[in-house]
Amino acid sequence: MNARKFACLTSVAWVTLAGAARADDAPAGPTPLSTPAMSSSLSASANPISADVGFLGKIYFSGQLTGLGTWQDNSVPGNNDQGKADISNAQIEVQKTDGVVQFYVQAGAYNFPSLGSAYVSSGRLDDETFKVVPVAFLKLVPNANFNVMIGKLPTLIGAEYTFTFQNLNISRGLLWNQEPAISRGIQGNYTQGPLTVSLSWNDGYYSGHYSTLSGLVSYVLSPKDTIAFVGSGNTKDTSTSRFVTPLAQNNGTIWNAIWTHTDGPWVINPYLQYSTTPKITKFGLPSSASTFGGAVLAKYSFTPTFNLAGRVEYIGSSGSQVALLYGTKSSAWSLTLTPTWQVKNLFIRGEVSYTKLDSMGPGAGFGKLGNKDEQTRAMIETGVLF
């Protein structure tokens, strides 16, 4: 899609959907749906569409229609376009949120650009990752404190979600590149007062081999502070290796410590990440390796309709024969700023980011030859959340 076509479609979407937005001038109905989970940069519709469907009861419908434009220098191999326009989300969610038997289905086109890696167009990305239905699960809720989810599940790992509309920033960060995004399996969730515990048996980085154990423990310390500890690891060697299933990481472990602080207009979310990958010579992993990184995500709300989000992060790797980042023993850091404006279900936001490789292997950096150690990227995203 060229830039002129993208601009035209965006204008049509804004004009067409503005009428729908004006319908929300009436007093708000139900509160926003809790799924899909979202950060506080963008807000889901406070009045989701619903319908009474016979024996199923009340079914809710929500979705996103958004597009983005991007410009970058030193494009990496696999994406040598300096500028590009694309769909970032054309998704719809259908869900039942009450009763013992509940469900959630998310379907459509999507993209999840991330720093320090090639930008992949939405059609190709969908085909090479989670297909047209990226998330879908059955949820059994015997009581208010316990539930079980079965299906294609969002990962427990990390402080950033998968899709653009869910996050403070348009692009995911360097730490997110090491994490699983969606896994197939079963997950149990238990809450008791300030404590939440989740445990999942799944296929890790979407490998199709159900041998990964993941867990999360979070605790609400105060109305302003929550801490969480998260871990995931494979219990059996698996040889699957493809775009969405990195061989080394899928056989390894990954850990997070996450703190979320909310105070008036501020949201501050620092977290640490540590990962290990094993030596499995029969799979072409001649040595073990590890990464260690940290990030701080933050947002300040100037008004109810305008906020500014930012992210600063660093990650480094060890291991003499396995490259987890930009060659063996490489490291990188990034800075990202994302101003966001939203009125009811319409939004527009921009983003500028800078990624710097402090160390890298030959040909493992940015640019057509892989010999550049920095990349600047500018993005804009606009659309509607309904």
| pLDDT score recorded for residue 264 | 95
Strand 195-202 to strand 101-110: parallel, antiparallel, or no bridges (unpaired)? unpaired
* Its pTM surpasses 0.85: yes
233 close to 215: Cβ distance less than 8 angstroms: no
How many Cα neighbours within 13 Å face the side chain of 289? 25
DSSP 199-212: EEEE-TTT-S---E
Amino acid at 148: V
**Residues contacting residue 189 through CB under 8 Å, at least 6 positions apart:** 146, 147, 148, 149, 196, 197, 198
Average pLDDT over residues 243-260: 97
Residue reference for tokens 């150690």: 373
From 10-14, 101-105, 225-229, 349-353, the region with the lowest mean pLDDT: 10-14
SS3 101: strand
Handedness of CA 150, 122, 62, 194 (dihedral sign): positive
d(CA 48, CA 64): 12
- How far is CA 95 from each of CA 108, 146, 162, 217, rounded to the nearest angstrom? 15, 19, 19, 26
Amino acid at 282: K
Tens of pLDDT, residues 139-165: 999 999 999 999 999 999 999 999 999
Residues 136, 141, 147, 152, Cα dihedral to 10°? -10
323 close to 346: Cβ distance less than 8 angstroms: no
Q: Is the pLDDT of residue 54 over 90?
A: no
The CA-CA-CA angle for residues 214, 243, 127, to 5°, reads 105
Tens of pLDDT, residues 281-338: 999 999 999 999 999 999 999 999 999 999 999 999 998 889 999 999 999 999 999 9
207 close to 250: Cβ distance less than 8 angstroms: yes
What domains are there in the chain, each with its CATH number? 3-385 (2.40.160.10)
